[in-house]
Structure formats: C-alpha cells, structure tokens
Chain A
Amino acid sequence: MKNSIIARLVIMFAAAALIIFSLIGSVLYAVVDNELLHHERNSLVTTFKDIEYMVSRAGTTERWAHVQVKLDTLTPADGKVRFWIFSDDPRFGYGKDLAELHEFANHPNNLGRMSIKGKKYPLHTLTRILPAYLDRPAIRLTVGVDAASYFETLRTFVAAMTGLSLAGVLLVILCGYWIARTGLQPLKKMSDKAQTLSPKTLSERLTLSALPDELSDLAQAFNGALDRMENAYKQLEAFNADVAHELRTPLANLIGETQVALSRERSAPEFESVLQSNLEEMDRLRSIINDMLFLARCDQGEAATGLVHALIADEVQKTMDFFEFVLDETGMRVEISGDTHATALIETSLFRRALTNLLQNAIQHSPAGACIEVAIDAKNHGVQIAVSNPGEPVEQGHLPRLFDRFYRVDTARRDINGIHGHGLGLAIVKAIALMHGGSVFAASTGGVTTIGFTTARF
C-alpha cells in the first residue's frame, strides 16, 4: 500500500477532514462559550442590580438588619447564588466565608471568577464598591453565581464535538476510499488492458476514447512507446530474416556446389573451378559479416575517432578518382558543385567509404552517359554531401527506408554489372553519418534521385 494512490488519497482526505472539523469545532466552541458567558453575566448583572438597589439605600443599622434577612432569604439553599458585603465597619458586613473574600478585597471592581472550597467549578462574580450612605461607610458588594451549568455545558460540548469530529473523519475515510476507488477505476481498467498486451498482440493499442482526459495523455504516450517497440520488433524480425536469407544464399551455393563436385570423380581443373567459386561465396559471406559487425558497432554508439580537418572537395575528388575507370567505361561524368572550399572534421577513411557507397549507388542506378552531381554544402560546423543522379524515380514511400539494412526498392534487381550488392551500402552511409553526428536524406523529383548525408560534429 505504500505507493497506492488510494491510500494516499484516503490519508489526505482524513487529514483534510480532521483540519476542517477542528477549525469548525474551535469556532463553535468560541461562539458557544461567548454566548453562555454573555447569558450568565446578564443574569448576574440583573441579580446584582436588584441587590445593589436595596443595599445602597440601607444606611442605618436597623435597615441593615433588614437587608441581612432579605439577603438570607434571597440566598438559595443549594448555594447557586451567593452574596458578600465587605465593609470597614464590621456591622455592615454580610456573607459566609468573608475571610476568604478578603483576598478579593482589592480585586478589580468588576466581573471575575472565584473558587470556593467544596465547589467543583468556580463562581462567576460581580463586585462593585458602593459609596457611603448615612451611617454606613463605603461597602463592597460581591454577588456570586454558581457557574456549574456553564462549565458542564462547555464540557459536554467539547466531548460531543470531539466525538462527532472523529466519527466524521472515520466517515470521510470510508467515503474517501470508495470515492478514490471509483475515481481510479479507469486507471485500473487501463492497467488491466495493458496487461493483456503481449508480443503476440503487438498491434493492439489502448483505446483512447474510453479514457478520461487525465489518462488519455498517458495512454497516448504509452501507445507511442508501443508503436516504437512494434517498429523495432518488426525491424528486428525483418532484419533477422534478411540476415538469414543473405547468409543462406552463399551457404547454399557452397554446400551445393561442393556436394555436386564430390558426388562424381572430377578432374583437377573441375575441382579448381569449384574451389574458386566457393572462395567467391565465402568472400561474400565475409563481406556481409564484416559490414554487419561494422553496423553493430555503430549501433552500440561507437563514434568516429581520428577526426581531422579535411577539405571535402579533396575527398570527393579522391573517391571520384577511384571510380575513374568505371565512369570512363559507362561514359558517365561526375561534377562537383557547391562549396568546394568547405572543410569539416571527419575520419577520412569512413568518409570515403560513405562517398564510395553513394557514388556506387548512383552509378548503378544511372543510365549510360549520365552526369552525376556531387553537391557540397557547408553547414554550421559540418557539411552536407548530396549525390544526384538521373534515373528511374524512386517512390516516395521507399525513400526513408532506403537506408534500412537489406532494404531494396526492387528485390529482383540484385546483381548489377556483376556486383553482389547485399543491401548494406546505404545503411553503412547512414551509420557513418551518425558516427559523425550527422544524418541522411533522400529525395527523388523530376527523374533525379538525390541521396546524401551530413556531418555535424563540433
């Protein structure tokens, strides 16, 4: 449960409820307290006023005796209302426990509280000094009212409030759990659905329309990841099939030819021819394996090392020289255009390999006598090489896939001019571009196919 959203939500709900109930309880307590106190004081003041009137007009000892009797009768048996009169003249005093009252002698002439022995709660008191009248000196009149009901009420209120709040929090926890569970139902459904996805149902996706807005982003991202995985998976499958096919062909030739050769008696020249043919097939195998290893190393993120600043036009020229005889034979020309003074940081042997593959590709797909154009374009700190050749247009759908391993636009067009292409040439161009921090591009418009790459390092 430690990372459960439901548990987190419930805890947060409970905490919120606790805070809200506490606040409401505190405010209510203050209101009730205030109201009760106000009420208590009102009755205290009323009682005080009645007594004050009587006491203040008793100026003689005779009348004072009358007051005392009156006060005695006014004091209820349960002691809920008490009167004390303090005077410098002991004749004009009144009330039990007067001695205690001395402590309050200098108490502010106002409302107060007073604890009395044997009483659980203190009394609310009102004290006022009455001026001298006739024989009587100035006296101090204190009226005390029992506050038990006030305190009891408050106590009960607090208990009830606490109990209610706790019950409320408990209820919120239960409701919160239910709400969270119901609210997160789409998430549960989504995860159930996601669990049903397996490599066998690679093309299945989460249905976005059934999901609330908050989850559809997540589901979309998830579906995107599935798309990429499906592509990678399919690519890998196709790649495996292609590799097996590419390796199987020369192997089949090797096995078959050798078996045929050994099935009868043969002359030395016949065997020699078989061996030579086998050697060619094995060379083909070696070449495929080497290219695949090269690509695998690039996949592992190996970058070009031994980078040097090189004049790009020079490298193009050297690669063109390499093809000089082939161009001559096919009557083709190569023209270098663009920024012939551009330099870039490249590993020259890799760069030439990429150029060789591009030129080879262009020569293979051009009619005799065609003019191939190599355009150099200096880009910020890198360079773009585009090799264009006239030839059959390549369908737009094929263009981005030209750089895939073993990808062929026309599967039937395998060996042109006796060259065993194994469909890794442009994949190697891409790998080399990536090793130089660049990318590849392909376009085919108006009967001209342009394939190229960029370097973008430093």
Chain B
Amino acid sequence: MKILIVEDEHKMAEYLRKGLSEQGCTVDLAANGIDGQHLAIWHDYDVIVLDAMLPGLDGFSVLRSLRILKQTPVIMLTARDRVEDRIKGLHDGADDYLIKPFSFLELLARLQALTRRGRAQEPAQLRIGDLQIDLLSRKALRNNTRIDLTAKEFALLAIMARRQGEILSKTAIAELVWDMNFDSNTNVVEVAIKRLRAKIDAPFSQKLLHTIRGMGYVLEPRATAHDGEGG
C-alpha cells in the first residue's frame, strides 16, 4: 500500500511513517500543504493522510484542488472535533476523518477499511492455526473439537478472526460487537476476552488470543508462547 502523509508536526509524521512502513506500506512525507498538493497530484497513492492545519496551504484547500483531478481516498486529521469542521472536510471530498489525539490502531484500521473497499467477498470459513470458524453455521472447532460459544462470544471471535493479525482496541471491539461507539470506561471487553480465552485457548497449548497491553487484542497463531499476557 502506497501512502502519502501530509503533516507538519514532525514527530507525528515520523512515527506514522515508521508505523506504517512496519505494516508493509510505502510512505511518502510532505511537511506543508504546497508540497503535499504537488505530491498528491503528480503521484499515485492508495490513500492520503492529510492534516487540516498546514503551513502554506491548509488541508481543505489541498483536498479541493486534488478532487478536481483525482479520487484518491483521503483521511483528514484534525485537532478540532466540532461537527462543522467534520462536515466541511467531508463536504470537500474527504473519505474519512480522525480527531487528534487518535490511536495509531484506529488510523491503521481505517486505512485498511478505505483500501479494502471493493475487495472480493469474505470466505465463509476462517482458519487461524488449528482453529476453524464457520461463519455460516456459526460453529467454531479446534483440533476438530467443537467449542461451545454463546452468540456474543461467537460474534467476538468472528470479528477477531476476520481481522486476524490486526490489533483491535477495546473501543473498536465494543463498537464492532455491541455497537457501542463511545469510550465506555467499563471492563466489559476484558471480561469478554477472558471468557473467550477460557473457551478457545485454555485447553490448548498453542495460544491464539493475545493481549497487547495498552493497545488491545489480536487473534493470530504465534510461533513462541511469549506474549504480553498482562491484562
């Protein structure tokens, strides 16, 4: 994935480049609106991350001039979260917006969502290590042993399995599983993960559901048993 980041805050631009490069993306940086506009127009990117407040030319202007020529997906970054600002950005042709401070995981998830559009339909069967999930019959098997899950437990497992290898934050899980799209400040997700872990991981030697402390959870087969099983 080729990404352009237009951001004047040096630290933020650098960590975004580092983080996204490590996820296998090719990242170009622009520190002001004029350079950003030039790069966005003359090169082809899969997605552009555009700060709203930029020296030279603000993000909204860059977006407007880009939209005359191209339909590259754009995520706007803004420190202002007033509804008008969001509407302005979306009205000018932004595909998504993120409010600073945002979590890197959320940016990653949204970048993936933007570029995933139009991909082929997901398979009905998912497989993580020796865990098999049938999304149609809503069954989970491990080592050919049927795992008995409640509806919500299965929903949680399915969501994690669809995004295997991707770190999901607690907020994202709450939104995807329960449609609770706000910081709930509860331990619901921890409890849910604990229950799921007890059912799919506890009886087996290879652990699939991992806690990334401070960030969230990920479902993936890992070579070693080491992981931050902290919370």
A residues with a Cβ closer than 8 A to B are: 272-273, 275-280, 283, 286-287, 289-291, 293, 297, 305, 318, 321-326, 329, 349, 352-353, 356-357, 360, 417-422, 425
A-B contact pairs, 5 of them (CB 8 A): A276-B212, A280-B214, A283-B214, A353-B182, A356-B186
Checking B81, B174, B195, B213 against A276 with a beta-carbon cut-off of 8 angstroms, the contacting residue is B213
Checking A283, A287, A322 against B180 with a beta-carbon cut-off of 8 angstroms, the contacting residue is A322
Q: Contact: B81 with A293, CB < 8 Å?
A: yes
B223 at the interface (CB under 8 A from A): no
Q: Contact: A419 with B187, CB < 8 Å?
A: yes
Q: Contact: B190 with A418, CB < 8 Å?
A: yes
A286 to chain B: which residues have CB within 8 Å? 101, 103
Dominant secondary structure at the A interface: helix
Using CB atoms, name the residue of chain B closest to A417.
B187
A420 to chain B: which residues have CB within 8 Å? 185
Q: Contact: A326 with B186, CB < 8 Å?
A: yes
B230 at the interface (CB under 8 A from A): yes
Q: Contact: A318 with B228, CB < 8 Å?
A: no
A290 to chain B: which residues have CB within 8 Å? 183
Q: Contact: B188 with A276, CB < 8 Å?
A: no
Q: Contact: B185 with A349, CB < 8 Å?
A: no
Checking B186, B192, B212 against A419 with a beta-carbon cut-off of 8 angstroms, the contacting residue is B186
B88 at the interface (CB under 8 A from A): no
The 8 closest A-B pairs by CB, nearest first: A279-B214, A276-B213, A276-B214, A325-B191, A322-B178, A280-B214, A325-B192, A353-B182
Residue interface mask B25-45, A partner, CB < 8 A = 1: 000000000000000000000
B152 at the interface (CB under 8 A from A): yes
Q: Contact: A326 with B187, CB < 8 Å?
A: yes
B214 to chain A, nearest CB (A): 3
A352 to chain B: which residues have CB within 8 Å? 180, 182
B81 to chain A, nearest CB (A): 7
Q: Contact: B152 with A318, CB < 8 Å?
A: no
A326 to chain B: which residues have CB within 8 Å? 186-188, 191
B residues with a Cβ closer than 8 A to A are: 81-83, 101, 103, 152, 174, 178-188, 190-192, 195, 212-215, 228, 230-231
Q: A276-B214, A280-B214, A322-B174 are in contact. Are A360 and B192 (CB under 8 A)?
A: no
B128 to chain A, nearest CB (A): 22
Q: Contact: B184 with A360, CB < 8 Å?
A: yes
A325 to chain B: which residues have CB within 8 Å? 152, 188, 191-192, 195
Using CB atoms, name the residue of chain A closest to B182.
A353
Q: Contact: A277 with B185, CB < 8 Å?
A: no
A310 to chain B, nearest CB (A): 13
Q: Cα distance A420–B214 when bound, in Å? A: 13
Q: Contact: A353 with B184, CB < 8 Å?
A: yes
Checking B185, B195, B214 against A421 with a beta-carbon cut-off of 8 angstroms, the contacting residue is B185
Q: Contact: A419 with B178, CB < 8 Å?
A: no
B181 to chain A: which residues have CB within 8 Å? 349
Q: Contact: B213 with A356, CB < 8 Å?
A: no
Q: Contact: A356 with B81, CB < 8 Å?
A: no
Q: Contact: B180 with A323, CB < 8 Å?
A: no
B187 to chain A: which residues have CB within 8 Å? 326, 417-419
Q: Cα distance A287–B213 when bound, in Å? A: 17
Q: A278-B214, A329-B191, A419-B187 are in contact. Are A349 and B182 (CB under 8 A)?
A: yes
Checking A275, A278, A318, A422 against B179 with a beta-carbon cut-off of 8 angstroms, the contacting residue is A318
Q: Cα distance A417–B185 when bound, in Å? A: 12
A432 to chain B, nearest CB (A): 11
Using CB atoms, name the residue of chain A closest to B186.
A360
Q: Contact: B182 with A287, CB < 8 Å?
A: no
B48 to chain A, nearest CB (A): 25
Q: Cα distance A279–B152 when bound, in Å? A: 28
Q: Contact: A323 with B81, CB < 8 Å?
A: no
Using CB atoms, name the residue of chain A closest to B195.
A325
Given A305-B83, A323-B186, A325-B192, 6 more pairs with CB closer than 8 A:
A279-B213, A286-B101, A287-B185, A322-B178, A322-B186, A325-B188
A273 to chain B: which residues have CB within 8 Å? 213, 228
B231 to chain A, nearest CB (A): 8
